[in-house]
Amino acid sequence: MVMGEMWSQVGSVIASLMFAYAMFQQYFPYDLRRYLSKYTNKILGFVYPYIEITFHEYSGDRFKRSEVYVAIQNYLSANSSSRAKRLKAHDIKDSKSLVLSLDDNEEVSDEFQGVKLWWTSYKSVPKNNSFSLYPDSDEKRYYRLTFHRRHRDLITSSYLNHIVKEGKGIAIKNRQRKLYTNGSNDSWYGGKRTKWSHVLFEHPASFDTLAMDPKTKQEIINDLLKFKKGKEYYAKIGKAWKRGYLLYGPPGTGKSTMISAIANFLDYDVYDLELTAVKDNTELRKLLIDTSNKSIIVIEDIDCSLDLTGQRKKKEKEKEEDKEQSKDPLRKKAEEEDMNKSKVTLSGLLNFIDGIWSACGGERLIVFTTNYVDKLDPALIRRGRMDKHIELSYCSFEAFKVLAKNYLDVESHDLFSTIERLLGETDITPADVAENLMPKSDDEDADVCLKNLVEAIGKAKEDAIRKKAEEEEKLKAEEEAKLKAEEEEKKKAEKEKLEKEKESEGNSGKEDVKCNGTLDKEVKENGSVTT
Ligand SMILES: Nc1ncnc2c1ncn2[C@@H]1O[C@H](COP(=O)(O)OP(=O)(O)OP(=O)(O)O)[C@@H](O)[C@H]1O
Ligand SMILES: [Mg+2]
């Protein structure tokens, strides 16, 4: 009986409190409520020693998720979500895998330098009952961080920076990398106009599968690692955090494959820059500014991309000469095509690589490839612009062993010694070796493929010998033709000399005759000769 009475009293007290609260919310002036809540919080502050910080998903810009919120989400999904009981799985744009984050109103604890703190995820739903086509569009999510007030300095100065840095790092690790290329049309990405368009970068090449001299390979890997970790070092020496690589060698020696391997190794995006599609130097600069950090900017076959030296001068001279003929419709069309051609100059490209603008952002690798390194302007490839020159050459025995392991899972074989000898005598590209090592049907095993390779190298050797002989013959023929031409020229000159001499002799005879003729005439006229 007593118990029942007590419960009914409690019930009525709660009901009265709720009624009073509702009245307070409904009828108290806003200013008075604010005033009261301020003092309530102050009083609470004396008894409740914890500080709370909230991080909203959308703050300021309504259409852009807060970067800090995303970083916290990533951090918590990697560090604390394993301890949470309720999780939410969702796919994030540009992320490789599903992201697990705390479900609404779930709390996890974290520890930083011995200090314990708590993260809670909240969802607030607005009270208006208006109908919306997008029911969830007004939901607001936020994280709340709670910690003891004596750790205030540590948390605000170090922990929050630590969280944002870690969260961004995790996002970079999880992101799907992209292969960008510049076309002539603008596209929209991330709410802004850009000249780059992209696809997912999915090339499987790696340094393990790259066939080359192991020592050079290790040297490149070390160089890349040093570069990746070199943020402070580059700042210390006062250099922009970027590095230039020049890859050169005959076609099919793995230049493009190496670029993919580098991108996979460093976890960078790739920007494949097509120089001929760039209108002018200004556009080149815009493209550079539009690249993200942690990226490789590639210019393939730089020697063929543009005539970067005499191009402009030649064109202008031609224009002057052809001014009068410009009415011709065919010529007009050719001129229009000329106008559409790239006007990127060597100095524009040099500025792109290491001008003032090149320092915007950081962690960029610029890679040039070429088949003919000698054709390039020395200014373009000097150290500081192209810091590391890497030659990719014909297949060595070491490189072959890597390919044999990759393609056939073979590390030793009877034919290896023959192949070693043949490779020492013959130039064959890794691309050709790889093609021969690849089984073309289920019946072809390692033996067959290696035999095919021996045959192919033998053939390449014969071809090389034949080509050399042909070239020598050609050279000999050219030399002979040259000698013959020289002899003929000599003979012709002698003949001409003789003819000239004869002519001059003849002329002097005629003059005598002419003299004599005049004399006769004078004799006839005077009737006597005076001496
Ligand atoms: N060093 C190498 N290691 C592994 N595979 C290679 C190597 N070189 C060439 N290959 C194979 O040969 C193919 C062609 O190589 P790649 O495109 O990298 O040559 P490249 O040097 O870029 O040639 P190009 O100068 O014509 O552009 C690749 O698909 C790859 O499979
Ligand atoms: Mg290539």
The complex's ipTM works out to 0.98
Which ligand 1 atom lies nearest to the CA of residue 212? 1
Regions in the chain scoring below 70 on pLDDT: 1, 60-64, 81-82, 90-97, 126-138, 184-193, 306-341, 508-531
174 contacts 96 by C-beta, under 8 angstroms: yes
* 359, two tokens: 């320092």
The ligand with the least distance to the CA atom of 254 is 1
Q: Determine the distance separating the centroid of ligand 2 and the alpha carbon of 191, expressed in angstroms.
A: 33
Q: Which residues line ligand 1 (CB under 6 A)?
A: 210-212, 251-257, 371, 430-431, 434
The ligand with the least distance to the CA atom of 258 is 1
Give residues with Cβ within 8 angstroms of 460, minimum separation 6: 426, 427, 428, 432
From CA 314, how far away is CA 321, in angstroms rounded?
A: 11
- 216, 246, 253, best to mutate for ligand 1 pocket (most atoms within 8 Å of CB): 253
pLDDT in tens, 435-473: 999 998 988 889 999 999 999 999 999 988 999 999 999
pLDDT in tens, 66-124: 888 888 988 888 877 667 778 777 666 666 667 777 788 888 888 899 999 999 988 87
Q: Determine the distance separating the centroid of ligand 1 and the alpha carbon of 430, expressed in angstroms.
A: 7
Q: Determine the distance separating the centroid of ligand 1 and the alpha carbon of 253, expressed in angstroms.
A: 5
Give residues with Cβ within 8 angstroms of 364, minimum separation 6: 241, 242, 243, 291, 293, 294, 295, 296, 297, 358
* 356, two tokens: 């003032």
pLDDT computed for residue 482 by the predictor: 92
Helix (H) or strand (E) holding 358: none
pTM of the model: 0.71
pLDDT computed for residue 190 by the predictor: 53
pLDDT computed for residue 519 by the predictor: 46
CATH topology of domain 181-307+343-391: Rossmann fold (3.40.50)
Alpha carbon 174 to its chain centroid, in Å, reads 19
Backbone angles phi, psi at 508, to 5 degrees: -65, -35
Which residues does residue 269 pair with via DSSP β-bridges, in sequence order?
A: 295
- 210, 212, 213, 256, best to mutate for ligand 1 pocket (most atoms within 8 Å of CB): 256
- Taking the alpha carbons of 229, 235, 241, 247 in that order, is the dihedral positive or negative? negative
How far, in Å, are 413, 459, 491 from residue 426 at the CA level? 20, 10, 46
Give residues with Cβ within 8 angstroms of 366, minimum separation 6: 242, 243, 244, 245, 296, 297, 299, 353, 386
Which ligand 1 atom lies nearest to the CA of residue 431? 12
Q: Determine the distance separating the centroid of ligand 1 and the alpha carbon of 301, expressed in angstroms.
A: 14
Angle ∠(98,178,393) on CA atoms, nearest 5: 130
Domain residue limits, the chain = 30-126+138-176, 181-307+343-391, 397-482
Q: Determine the distance separating the centroid of ligand 1 and the alpha carbon of 396, expressed in angstroms.
A: 14
pLDDT computed for residue 58 by the predictor: 82
Q: Determine the distance separating the centroid of ligand 2 and the alpha carbon of 240, expressed in angstroms.
A: 28
pLDDT computed for residue 528 by the predictor: 47
394 contacts 207 by C-beta, under 8 angstroms: no
Q: Whose CA is nearest to atom 8 of ligand 1?
A: 254
Q: Determine the distance separating the centroid of ligand 2 and the alpha carbon of 301, expressed in angstroms.
A: 8
Q: Whose CA is nearest to atom 10 of ligand 1?
A: 431
Which ligand 1 atom lies nearest to the CA of residue 211? 3
Calculate the average pLDDT of the chain.
82
From CA 103, how far away is CA 20, in angstroms rounded?
A: 33
Q: Whose CA is nearest to atom 26 of ligand 1?
A: 251
From CA 236, how far away is CA 229, in angstroms rounded?
A: 13
From CA 475, how far away is CA 10, in angstroms rounded?
A: 113
Give residues with Cβ within 8 angstroms of 342, minimum separation 6: 275, 276, 277, 278, 279, 280, 306
pLDDT in tens, 47-68: 788 889 999 888 766 666 788 8
Give residues with Cβ within 8 angstroms of 447, minimum separation 6: 413
Which ligand 1 atom lies nearest to the CA of residue 406? 4
297 contacts 269 by C-beta, under 8 angstroms: no
143 contacts 75 by C-beta, under 8 angstroms: no
From CA 484, how far away is CA 17, in angstroms rounded?
A: 120
pLDDT computed for residue 311 by the predictor: 45
Q: Determine the distance separating the centroid of ligand 1 and the alpha carbon of 178, expressed in angstroms.
A: 21
**Which residue carries 């033709």 as its tokens?**
481
pLDDT computed for residue 510 by the predictor: 57
